Structure 1
Amino acid sequence: MPWWSTLLLALGGILIGGAWSLHRQKAPVWIRVSFIILGALAILAAFLTVPWAN
């Protein structure tokens, strides 16, 4: 796995964890949803940038 894929996967995990933390702190819904969307996109990008065919 390339380093940028690992970095994107870590970023996605941090964003999803941040969304959970914001949920526990009763943050506005739009902020929580934006963190979840950004985290999911980062995780998706991590898996799409892995060279599977090598």
Structure 2
Amino acid sequence: MSILLLALAGLLLGGALSLRKQSTSKAPFVITLLLAAVAAAGGLLWL
């Protein structure tokens, strides 16, 4: 399960960076970044 959460965090981080490159508004970038942080924290705590 932890590997899935860490993989999800990686996908969300990539999506957040892609949103940042596309010069979108700040809200979607921050929300995606926060979701990536929560998924990464969950994956690390699951270990």
Report the TM range for the smaller structure's normalisation: over 0.9
Which structure features the higher share of helix residues?
A: 2
Task: Find the aligned partners of 1:27 and 1:10 in 2 and give their Cα distance.
Answer: 24
TM, length-normalised to structure 2: 0.95
- Structure 1 residue runs without a partner (length 5+): none
Could you list the structure 1 runs, at least 4 aligned residues long, displaced by more than 4 angstroms after superposition: none
Count of aligned positions? 47
TM, length-normalised to structure 1: 0.84
| RMSD over aligned Cα atoms | 0.5
- Structure 2 residue runs without a partner (length 5+): none
